[in-house]
Structures are given as C-alpha cells and as structure tokens.
Amino acid sequence: MHKDMTIVQFQELIRKRYFKTDSERGISKTFLWLSEEFGELAHALAKYERGDADIENLRDEFADVLAWLTTLANITDIDLTEAIHSKYIQDGGPEGEK
C-alpha cells in the first residue's frame, strides 16, 4: 500500500486484517485494548516531554492508537471519513475547542 494512504484505505486495511478477530472480541474488550494503547502513548509522550524521547516508539504508539480506534469504528460500522467530514469539514466545522 502507498505510504500516503487515505483514511478510507487505512480503515479498509485494518478491516481486512483484523475484522473477524476484532468483531469476535467485541466492543468492550476492544475498547480496553485501545485504553491500554493510550497508556503506552502517554508513557512515550512523557518521555518525549522530558527530552528522553524514543521517536520510533512514539511513532509506533501513535500508529497503535489509530489502529485500535479504527478497529472500534469498523466493528461499530462507522465510516471514519464520513464522520470526520460531518464533524470537522462540512459547513466549516466547529470553531474553537474540539
């Protein structure tokens, strides 16, 4: 797959690789995995903030969080591109804080 993939392409990649296992695991357990990945990202960000960054690990943790979030979108049948467009692009999106 091309390095500059779209959100649609990434969501489909995650769906093809993991949907069967992810859907069998269910929403609650998958959310727990996402929560664990947030914790790992928090740890990597703390190291970055202290000036002791492991950039490869930080990059991996961002990718893991995005993959697990995408997994949840897949098993709940949410099109992420549509959701992003509706929330942030359509009609100029929300102003100020997210």
Q: What is the pLDDT of residue 1?
A: 59
List pLDDT tens digits, range 55-64: 999 999 999 9
Q: What is the pLDDT of residue 14?
A: 98
Q: What is the pLDDT of residue 63?
A: 98
What is the C-alpha to C-alpha distance for residues 30 and 42, in angstroms, rounded to an integer? 18
List pLDDT tens digits, range 2-56: 689 999 999 999 999 999 999 999 999 999 999 999 999 999 999 999 999 999 9
Domain residues of the chain, as ranges?
31-77
* pLDDT band, very low/low/confident/very high, at 92 (cuts 50, 70, 90): confident
